[in-house]
Structure 1
Amino acid sequence: MTTTIRGGQLARLLGQWHSLPGRHRSPDYAALAAAVRGLLSDGRLPLGVRLPAERELAEALAVSRTTVSAAYRTLRETGHLTSRRGAGSWTTLPNGHRVATSGLWTPEDDRNVIDLGVAASAAPPELVPAARAAADDLPRYLGSAGYHPTGLIELREAVAAGYQARGVATSAEQILVTGGTQQALDLVLRLLAPPGSPVLVEAPTYPNALAALSARRARISTHGLDTATGWDGEMLLGALRQTRPRLSYVIPEFHNPTGHLMPADLRERMVTTAHSTGTDLVVDESWVDLRLDGGEMPPPVAVFDRHSRVVSIGGMSKGYWGGLRIGWVRASAPLVQRLAAIRVGVDMASPVLEQLVAVRLLEHAPKILSDRRAELREQRDALAAKVRELLPEWRFVLPPGGATIWAELDGPISSALARAAEDVGVRLAPGPRFGLDGTLERFLRLPFALPTDQLTEAVRRIASVRHDLDRATTPSWRTPSVIA
């Protein structure tokens, strides 16, 4: 069944499309078409969605129906829209485009594009030796069917040992191995968030978490993070008390995209409040291994859990390699068994060989993670220095860990800048992708997971198109004319 987006909903997603810098270089219909393409390219408007009728969208945007009609025609010509008389118009994938690893729509021939849409690093050199050693370990599993819904016991023990080292008493029975952190979140939502459940998230937050919640038809509410200081404790706890959500999704370690680290006292208060409101806390620990500056890490949120309200999810994508697709859930043993039962109806189990590779990599975790942190620290500092040099009006706090800088721009230009950057071979994920209803246009996530030379070149290109947005002049077609 095709999903339909209403005129008011699309208008909220489009935001201030008609007043962005550089907008006056194009007629209204062309600017509207470009804004819709931007929503499609950064994943905020999915494939196969039926757009509102021309008259409905015109009323929602307070423009003429002629403008909307011309914009739809332009989108059909570029392959972003398919229309059929009596059936409406729905979004499509243009010929020569594909869905990239970031979920963004990209041209097939994008090999020379600097991709700042993904905050994940290349594989460590230890991966190939680990894979060879894992292949030697494989024969002892070949005599069985190979289905292990909760995961191989040796990997579950290794993950549990990691929690033990962080101060959380954990047994292998409390670990479920998944196909990456995203599947861990999906399984938890299937179990704990029935369709229509109220859910509380941070703003901004991880886009794929928002997508997973939307797929569950969750009623999402948000509490905001301050760009400079992170969580406002009273605002977070007040939101929990007022909304009493079924579930709350948080990223306390090097929050994606802001990079903030939640203090220990707020973690404890959050768990206490969640228990009083009947809220399950889903704690995303994807970035926990990537502290880049000195200082002691706060205890895991699960340390403060006395009533099985905390479900921790994590994985190896950020510290090791995303292509491995190994994640996990840490929860009470009964909850893990319920998750495993659901998981059988999804994909049965994770691949045995990949789990054996993960076991081997975790044996060398101290060196791998130390090298990764050093690499990211150098790349972070190079990116920050280049932004300060070429875009001094932008403001940001240097994150103490993770792999992203959350920059406050010098205007509500994030989506316009992302579209312009595509023309010079840089892919960006604009601020609104990390929130709801087209907000966060003044912000941009800048990952520093790429090599230093690519990061500095990307900033140079971004700066060039940013300045071009300001240099646009009003063309003659904007001059009013009398038609008799």
Structure 2
Amino acid sequence: MPMDPADLADRLGRWSAGRGPLYLLLAARLRRLVDEGELHPGTRLPPDRALASALAVGRGTVVAAYEQLRTEGRIVRRQGSGTRVAGPSRPGPQETTGAPVFLHLLEPQADDVILLACAAPAEPPPILLTAYERALSQLATVTGDIGYHPSGHPHLRRAVADHYTRRGVPTDPERVLVTNGGQQALSLLARAFVEPGGPVLVEAPTYPGALEAFHERAAALRTLPTGLDGFEAAVRTPSRRPELAYLVSTHHNPTGSVLPPLARRRLAVAAATADVPLIDDEVLAHLGFPGRRTPPPLAMYSDTVITVGSLSKSVWGGLRIGWIRATRPVIDRLARLRAVHDLGGNFPAQLAAAELLPRLETLCQDMAADRRARHDHLRAELARHLPQWQAPPVTGGQTLWVRLPHGDGDSFAQTALRHGVAVLPGSGLDASGGSREFIRIHFLATPDVLTEAVRRLATAWQAYGGGHDRGDPAPAPRSMAV
């Protein structure tokens, strides 16, 4: 039996008090109930008409809200069996989970599963241990400091500012806010700039963690091709001007593309002219292959660009250090917002990060040849065992954006998982509803692990129906199980 519509209406509370289309506001409140576990996986939700009657809204509002959550993977709608919160009511590989797609990357898998979905260094480099040794020596001399620094430790804010100044973007420490990783930086920016139902421009495809941050704010996502191509036309009409725009300009996640200097200038100037806050996600900016210079941040071309950085991809994911570079009024606003939720970050980690930052580019350069070798090895193995897959080369970053010759990434990812490899289906990275024929895989593993991963993927592809010609029917799509 579905849950009582009146009971769900009570749990939703005052969801309609906000700006934006009603269906997005309703979807935001339902999303929160699902993500916080108040609506358990397998729970059958009320029918469209029944919930609409209980909420005194049109049926179309409920239908659109349900559809929004279905595309996010939070609910499942099947004719004849109603609408259920996504996730297994009992264990089984055929079911889905109720967590957002971004969280699937972080959940532990069986010991024998090769994880090619979440891209980050697998162990801390020796230079991080040295940085912590120096940080602990400094910590031993601290007096008169209770350790609360909502904007970040002064040493680290200075180190981040100097980092940008060396790259040709003069920066004062007051224009830097330290965060617990790049993901917290995106969440803070979404809270600061996006009202429920507010339009946000994103690339299609793009980083899934950014999509989750904007979904949490019930943003109305509007998409443009990689590089935000067409941005000037998209913001020309004041009534359709977005509240925020987001892109990964360097070693784009997931395609690996790099925005050329002229396009950077045009985009930054257009955003400033239209008064649209533009986020330049630079988390992958320093991961170019040998001989590739790190392009300048978009902030070089416009002082209003908001730059996000992090050490999670270049050093180690367990070092939860990120930052935001922006104008002082924006930093002050974000600092007040951050203090409501968190009075500061990890003190020793920030001291260690301050030691690391002057050496960041050298560290990345030292690892560049190894990353390129692993990239080349993975592509060679794919070409040998799966020649019908399209895996274009990249000039840096950590991932390949692979196009399947038929079928869809969601259902193939399930098959791959049953054969011991976790990959990321493209649909979860594309707010336009596209990229279903893609998967994202990383090349950070050792060559022997990558070889075994491709062997398993080839076996999974045969089981999936990889021997069929393009004209043959593809296997029926199923929800992602990772």
TM range (shorter): 0.7 to 0.9
CA distance in 2 between counterparts of 1:295 and 1:73 reads 43
Give the partner amino acid of 1:331.
A
Deviation at 1:331, TM superposition (A): 0.6
1:310-329 to structure 2, matched below 5 A, reads: 310-329=305-324
- Measured at CA, do residues 449 and 431 of structure 1 come closer, stay the same or move farther in structure 2, by a change above 3 Å? same
Task: Between 109-118 and 357-366, report the one with greater CA deviation.
Answer: 357-366
Match of 1:389 among 384, 397, 413: 384
* Structure 1 residues 158-200: Cα deviation after superposition (integer angstroms, max 9, x where no partner): 1111111111011111111110011111111221222222110
CA distance in 1 between counterparts of 2:132 and 2:348 reads 8
- Measured at CA, do residues 292 and 347 of structure 1 come closer, stay the same or move farther in structure 2, by a change above 3 Å? same
- Measured at CA, do residues 51 and 391 of structure 1 come closer, stay the same or move farther in structure 2, by a change above 3 Å? farther
- Measured at CA, do residues 354 and 275 of structure 1 come closer, stay the same or move farther in structure 2, by a change above 3 Å? same
* Structure 1 residues 453-481: Cα deviation after superposition (integer angstroms, max 9, x where no partner): 1112111111111111227999xxxxxxx
Give the partner amino acid of 1:144.
D
Match of 2:410 among 408, 415, 418: 415
The residue that corresponds to 1:112 in the other structure is 112
The residue that corresponds to 1:482 in the other structure is none
The residue that corresponds to 1:206 in the other structure is 207
CA distance in 2 between counterparts of 1:136 and 1:101 reads 41
Deviation at 1:294, TM superposition (A): 2.3
The residue that corresponds to 1:264 in the other structure is 261
CA distance in 1 between counterparts of 2:393 and 2:268 reads 28
The residue that corresponds to 2:28 in the other structure is none
The residue that corresponds to 1:286 in the other structure is 283
Give the partner amino acid of 1:417.
F
Describe the SS at the equivalent of 2:178: strand
CA distance in 1 between counterparts of 2:38 and 2:94 reads 12
The alignment's C-alpha RMSD in Å is 3.6
CA distance in 1 between counterparts of 2:428 and 2:175 reads 33
Deviation at 1:107, TM superposition (A): 7.8
- Measured at CA, do residues 46 and 116 of structure 1 come closer, stay the same or move farther in structure 2, by a change above 3 Å? farther
Q: Judge conservation of contact 2:101–2:208 (CA < 8 Å) in 1.
A: no
Q: Judge conservation of contact 1:431–1:441 (CA < 8 Å) in 2.
A: yes
Deviation at 1:404, TM superposition (A): 0.8
CA distance in 2 between counterparts of 1:120 and 1:336 reads 28
- Measured at CA, do residues 256 and 418 of structure 1 come closer, stay the same or move farther in structure 2, by a change above 3 Å? same
Q: Judge conservation of contact 2:287–2:364 (CA < 8 Å) in 1.
A: yes
Give the partner amino acid of 2:458.
A
Give the partner amino acid of 2:111.
R
* Structure 1 residues 78-133: Cα deviation after superposition (integer angstroms, max 9, x where no partner): 37999xxxxxxxx877xxxxx89961188866122111111111221222222122
Q: Judge conservation of contact 1:72–1:81 (CA < 8 Å) in 2.
A: no
- Measured at CA, do residues 152 and 215 of structure 1 come closer, stay the same or move farther in structure 2, by a change above 3 Å? same
The residue that corresponds to 1:246 in the other structure is 243
Q: Judge conservation of contact 1:156–1:176 (CA < 8 Å) in 2.
A: yes
CA distance in 1 between counterparts of 2:373 and 2:332 reads 42
Match of 1:429 among 424, 427, 450: 424
The residue that corresponds to 2:58 in the other structure is none
- Measured at CA, do residues 237 and 74 of structure 1 come closer, stay the same or move farther in structure 2, by a change above 3 Å? closer
CA distance in 2 between counterparts of 1:185 and 1:72 reads 27
CA distance in 1 between counterparts of 2:84 and 2:353 reads 49
Match of 1:78 among 91, 97, 100: 91
TM-score, L = length of structure 1: 0.77
Q: Judge conservation of contact 2:321–2:349 (CA < 8 Å) in 1.
A: yes
- Measured at CA, do residues 351 and 142 of structure 1 come closer, stay the same or move farther in structure 2, by a change above 3 Å? farther
CA distance in 2 between counterparts of 1:391 and 1:317 reads 31
Q: Judge conservation of contact 1:81–1:92 (CA < 8 Å) in 2.
A: no
* Structure 1 residues 192-218: Cα deviation after superposition (integer angstroms, max 9, x where no partner): 222222110000011110010011111
Q: Judge conservation of contact 2:199–2:222 (CA < 8 Å) in 1.
A: yes
Deviation at 1:415, TM superposition (A): 1.0
The answer to whether residue 377 in structure 2 is matched with residue 377 in structure 1 is: no
Deviation at 1:397, TM superposition (A): 2.2
- Measured at CA, do residues 197 and 62 of structure 1 come closer, stay the same or move farther in structure 2, by a change above 3 Å? closer
Q: Judge conservation of contact 1:48–1:92 (CA < 8 Å) in 2.
A: no
- Measured at CA, do residues 459 and 71 of structure 1 come closer, stay the same or move farther in structure 2, by a change above 3 Å? farther
Deviation at 1:343, TM superposition (A): 0.8
Give the partner amino acid of 2:394.
P
The residue that corresponds to 1:331 in the other structure is 326
Give the partner amino acid of 2:177.
L
* Structure 1 residues 22-69: Cα deviation after superposition (integer angstroms, max 9, x where no partner): xxxxxxxxxxxxxxxxxxxxx9x9974765557999xx999752xx37
CA distance in 1 between counterparts of 2:86 and 2:280 reads 45
Q: Judge conservation of contact 2:87–2:97 (CA < 8 Å) in 1.
A: no
Equivalent pairs counted in the alignment come to 413
CA distance in 1 between counterparts of 2:338 and 2:86 reads 44
* Structure 1 residues 319-343: Cα deviation after superposition (integer angstroms, max 9, x where no partner): 1111010000001122212211111
Deviation at 1:366, TM superposition (A): 4.1
Describe the SS at the equivalent of 1:146: coil
Deviation at 1:430, TM superposition (A): 0.6
Deviation at 1:367, TM superposition (A): 3.7
Deviation at 1:72, TM superposition (A): 9.8
CA distance in 2 between counterparts of 1:110 and 1:339 reads 39
Give the partner amino acid of 1:364.
R
TM-score, L = length of structure 2: 0.77
The residue that corresponds to 1:34 in the other structure is none
CA distance in 1 between counterparts of 2:350 and 2:90 reads 47
1:49-448 to structure 2, matched below 5 A, reads: 52=45, 65=80, 68=81, 75-78=88-91, 103-104=103-104, 110-122=110-122, 123-225=124-226, 231=227, 233=229, 235-241=230-236, 243-306=240-303, 308=304, 310-436=305-431, 438-448=433-443
CA distance in 2 between counterparts of 1:196 and 1:350 reads 31
- Measured at CA, do residues 150 and 135 of structure 1 come closer, stay the same or move farther in structure 2, by a change above 3 Å? same
CA distance in 2 between counterparts of 1:109 and 1:168 reads 42
